[in-house]
Amino acid sequence: MHPDSHIPIAIIGATGNVGRKIVEMLVTRGISMPENLQLYASSQSAGKKFQIGNCAWLIQDTSDIDFSKVKLALFATESDVSRRYIADALKEGVVVVDSSSLNRLEASVPLIVYPVNQHLVSIKHTRLYAIANCVSSPIATVLAPLHRQHKIKRII
């Protein structure tokens, strides 16, 4: 088990493709204990059962989230949902990772492509991180070592 597997984590947007994959990876890789995951989605999904292997959760309505009960919030949502709830999470001291486009162009928010710039992740310095989109992440991962060697100036 991962040393931080006891940290309470909220996954907002847990029933979407990205959210489901996040839950699966957290559990199957031993990053989090299933009982420490709180899964949230829209009112349409609230009350439904979500299962991975032997682990099952009841999906909760995002509007009912209590950020004082979590340490990490993973937003696998559209920008409007992130816009509505991230400020509340940050007020409670929660570390937030946002995969929506909301914060990607904010200069004060680290834009993370983990294989490229994981050194920017430090909860001592910031509590809000944006995740690069699904097209730019693999491109940046491939180009980063080339850039370090040859200083790429432009890509077409």
pLDDT in 10s for each residue of the chain, 156 residues: 667 778 999 999 999 999 999 999 999 999 999 999 999 999 999 999 999 989 999 999 999 999 999 999 999 999 999 999 999 999 999 999 999 999 999 999 999 998 889 999 988 889 999 999 988 888 999 999 999 999 999 988
Q: 76, 14 in Cβ contact below 8 A? A: yes
- Chain centroid to Cα 137, Å, comes to 14
Measured CA to CA in angstroms, residue 37 lies from 34, 79, 109 at distances of 6, 22, 25
Can you give the pTM of this predicted structure?
0.89
Residue type, position 135, single letter = V
The CA distance from 125 to 101, in Å, is 22
Residue 68 to residue 60: CA distance in whole angstroms: 16
Question: Residue 108 in 3-state DSSP?
Answer: coil
State the amino acid at position 7 in one-letter form: I
In the numeric block, which tokens belong to residue 97? 């990772």
